[in-house]
Amino acid sequence: MTKTQAARPVADLTPAEAKAELARLAPLIAEHDRRYYADSAPILSDAGYDALRRRNDAIEARFPEFRRADSPSLRVGAAPAQGFAKVTHGEPMLSLQNAFTGEDVRDFMARVRRFLAGLIHLERDQPIEVMGEAKIDGLSISLRYERGKLVLAATRGDGHAGEDVTHNIRTVAEIPHAIGGGVPAILEVRGEIYMRHQDFFALNQAREQAEEPPFANPRNAAAGSLRQLDWRITAARQLGFFAYALGQTSEPVAATHQGLLERLGAWRFPVNPLARLCKDVDDMLAFHAAMGAARAELGYDIDGVVYKVNRLDWQEQLGQVSRAPRWALAHKFAAEQAETRIADIAIQVGRTGALTPVAILEPINVGGVVVQRATLHNEDEIQRKDIRVSDTVIVQRAGDVIPQIVSVVLARRPPGSAPYGFPAICPVCGSRAVRAIDPVTGAPDAARRCTGGLICPAQAKERLRHFVSRDAFDIEGLGRKHIDAFTEDKLIATPGDVFRLHGKSKEIAEREGWGPQSVANLTAAIEARRTITLDRFIHALGISQVGQATARLLAREYGTLDEWVRAMRDAADPAGDAYRRLVGIDQIGPAVAADLIQFFAEPHNLEVVEDLTREVRVQSTAQRPPATASPIAGKTVVFTGNLARVTRTAAKTGAEALGAKVSESVSKKTDYVVVGADPGSKAEKAKMLGVAILSEAEWLDLIGRP
Ligand code: IVH
């Protein structure tokens, strides 16, 4: 009935084929959804439909980067209006007893044997097989399938009731929406949602760029990503899943835990391959040791192993004590802590200018990994823990990722040590480093930031990329790649250098991928931008919080570069007129004002602006006259037809500069319609509505132009 039977196996698809196939499936599935839900007239069997969705899911699982915005896997009903609904689990979600030593494990097995022997006949030396599994460090989830369809996904919550996160779980590519092949009518699959290290690092990097606080570890990142009210946010994060247990089922699915894992795998749930059937405690401890050794290389966090009695009938008989099964045990890895000394505290400057302190440690082996650096997060963290150079500290590898300092061993602090003084100067460029104050809450930003954005080598690439970008200087042919290469090779360091690149034509032409012609093109593109409007110039400087719209407001208010720079410097006096004028601009508040003032308080930035003005010509902007000065201030004007003396665009800009609102359509609210030659329907409409109609000459007269 469908083409899927004949379609190529997902495993054989090339990336291009996969992309094309997803493009074919999205509208196709949408069409079947519409027939099914809207028309109640499906033309495809349930099995055929499920096959399409499964194929789509499988391709997305293999190529998550190709998941389309209109992917069927993202399409779900309406999200709950507020928070998450509470839902009761079909069977409670239990927790596990913990063990930390081999002795604990022996005790556990002895307990299991004693308990079973009291219920059934057990030979003295009869083996009790146990499955050892990796203990994934994520958050547990319960997936409820009814007749093979995913109907509910819930977090653990208090074990009896959790939160309904179905919408979000549907965006996790690895979780099937429908399963087939001898599935019980009711099936609750339990497992762990987690985040791989690479996705965790990428997410944190993106958050840092967006100036959002990073997640401390992959588990927090996974939990934070799942507990999003907007499922689109979850969809944008890469979450993984491993199935490892069942909750409620309407019929038995296997005789052993090993058999259960196999069935889960056959239903296309990801099952962690790190599992081993153990015959005795020695086997179990060997498995624990092997996992401990392998853990650093896995690419995701595990925090121990879980042992589960393999026979499910025995599990049943063993039952549970106070919310933990008697048949399972979590054998945690030893806390990964060690003691060492802080040799120094280094300051790293990130691409956005944030100063991050890093402890340089005397190298120490922490749980099998040599650690030489530990993050100190920020200034407040150092102060809170009173961390000093030469202190002896406890270092911990948190979730296998970034080593952290847990505490200072005060007893071993050398006499005469002093609290750490956080630098107020950027160690890379020597500019002042400041903590922005939130003008509303009065709280300082967690990060101290370098104010030398334009000259700071640590931030140079980022700033220069912005400087030449489309909405800034718009230099064609000078892309990210070139900016990176040119800054690395010291051909450019500051914005002014871009306009002096022509002096380095020879050097550039000799570079790989360049020749005389491409250099000539680049030079021409740069020359074409030697004249720039004031708003673009302001925007190009990349001042924090000063985007395109704010740059336009500033250009309109101050008109010329000189006037603007003078005003920004004068605005440093909060009691002065310049400050009042700045914050008096509609849509510019104290926070933006503070960033502007900060920028001009840094002498390096002034130098950059001065250097740049020697290279480029900044056009002045028509200033906004006082609101009452023009008869058209505040009026709504529509232009139509061909004007003779100015272009329509120029007429519009001129009208706006005089404080008028220019609109494209005529309504009762329109004050004037200015009519050129060959006017269209707008003039008709104006007549009908009785709006004032002006000829071009009358218009120029009105605004006082000869
Ligand atoms: S079995 C009734 N197996 O560890 C048994 N749990 O510390 C239910 N976990 O809440 C759990 N990997 O979130 C099981 N292979 C695994 C696991 C695992 C991680 C988590 C799970 C549980 C927690 C208990």
The minimum-distance atom of ligand 1 relative to the CA of 245 is 1
| Ligand 1 site, residue 133, Cβ cutoff 6 A | yes
Options 3.90.1150.10, 3.40.50.10190, 2.60.40.1930, 3.30.830.10; CATH of 636-702: 3.40.50.10190
Class of the domain covering 3-74: mainly alpha
Q: Is 385 a catalytic residue?
A: no
Q: Which of 19, 86, 135, 279 is catalytic?
A: 135
Report CA(263)–ligand 1 centroid distance (Å). 18
Give the mutation target among 130, 135, 295, 329 for probing the ligand 1 site: most ligand atoms within 8 A of CB: 135
In whole angstroms, what is the distance from residue 379 CA to residue 208 CA?
Answer: 17
Nearest CA to ligand 1 atom 13: 140
Q: Quick check: CB of 325 below 6 Å from ligand 1?
A: yes
- What's the rounded Cα separation, in Å, for the pair 68 and 177? 17
Using one digit for the tens of pLDDT, what is the confidence trace for 580-609? 999 998 888 888 999 899 899 988 899 999
Whole-number Å distance between alpha carbons of 36 and 30? 10
Residue with tokens 């927790």: 95
Tens of pLDDT, residues 670-694:
999 999 888 888 888 889 898 999 9
- Which residues in the chain land under pLDDT 50? 1-5, 40, 76-82, 400
Å from CA of 305 to ligand 1 middle: 9
Give the model's pLDDT for residue 208: 83
Cα–ligand 1 centroid distance for 243 (angstroms): 10
CA nearest 478: which of 439, 511, 521?
521
pTM greater than 0.85 (yes/no): no
The widest CA-to-CA distance across the chain, in whole angstroms, is 112
CA of 557 to the centre of ligand 1 (A): 62
Token reading at 156: 């653990």
For residue 286 and ligand 1, the question of a CB distance below 6 A is answered with no
Break the chain into its structural domains and give their ranges: 3-74, 98-332, 336-399, 453-619, 636-702
Ligand 1 center–CA 189 separation, angstroms: 12
Query: What are the distances in angstroms from CA 251 to CA 18, 187, 311?
Result: 37, 8, 16
| 330 Cβ closer than 6 Å to some ligand 1 atom | yes
Token pair belonging to 631? 């008869």
The CA distance from 369 to 371, in Å, is 6
DSSP string, 665-700: S--TT--EEEE-BS--HHHHHHHHHT-EEEEHHHHH
Report whether residue 491 contacts ligand 1, using a CB cutoff of 6 Å: no
What confidence score (pLDDT) does residue 5 get? 40
Please give the pLDDT value at position 602.
Answer: 87
CB 524 within 8 A of CB 478: no
Ligand 1 midpoint to CA 96 (Å): 7
pLDDT at position 41, please? 62
Ligand 1 centroid to Cα of residue 403, in Å, is 25
Residue 609: predicted pLDDT: 95
Could you give the CA distance from residue 671 to residue 51 in angstroms, rounded to a whole number?
61
- 336-399 has CATH 2.40.50.140 classification: yes
Q: Please give, one letter per residue, the 3-state secondary structure of 369-409.
A: EEEEEEECCCHHHHHHHCCCCCCEEEEEEHHHCCEEEEEEC
Q: What is the DSSP letter of 35?
A: I
Contact (Cβ atoms closer than 8 angstroms) between residue 89 and residue 161? yes
User: How far apart are the C-alpha atoms of 102 and 108, rounded to whole Å?
Assistant: 10
704 burial (CB, 10 Å; 0-12 / 13-18 / 19+) is exposed
* 203 within ligand 1 shell (Cβ under 6 A): no
Which ligand 1 atom sits closest to the C-alpha of 135?
12
| Whole-Å CA distances, 509 to 32, 488, 503 | 57, 17, 12
| Beta-carbon contacts of residue 140 (< 8 Å; ≥ 6 apart) | 93, 155, 156, 190, 191, 192, 193
CB of 245 sitting under 6 A from ligand 1 = yes
> Measuring from atom 10 of ligand 1, which residue has the nearest CA?
95
Q: Using a 6 Å cutoff on CB, does residue 137 contact ligand 1?
A: no
Which CATH number is correct for 453-619, 3.40.50.2300, 1.10.150.20, 3.20.20.140, 1.10.10.10? 1.10.150.20
Mutate to test the pocket of ligand 1, among 94, 96, 189 (most ligand atoms within 8 A of CB): 96
Q: Please tell me the distance from the alpha carbon of residue 146 to that of residue 658, in angstroms, as a whole number.
A: 66
Q: What is the pLDDT of residue 425?
A: 95
Contact (CB, 8 A) for 525 and 478? yes
Choose the CATH number for 98-332 among 2.20.140.10, 3.40.50.2000, 3.30.479.30, 3.30.470.30.
Answer: 3.30.470.30
| Residue 310 to residue 129: CA distance in whole angstroms | 6
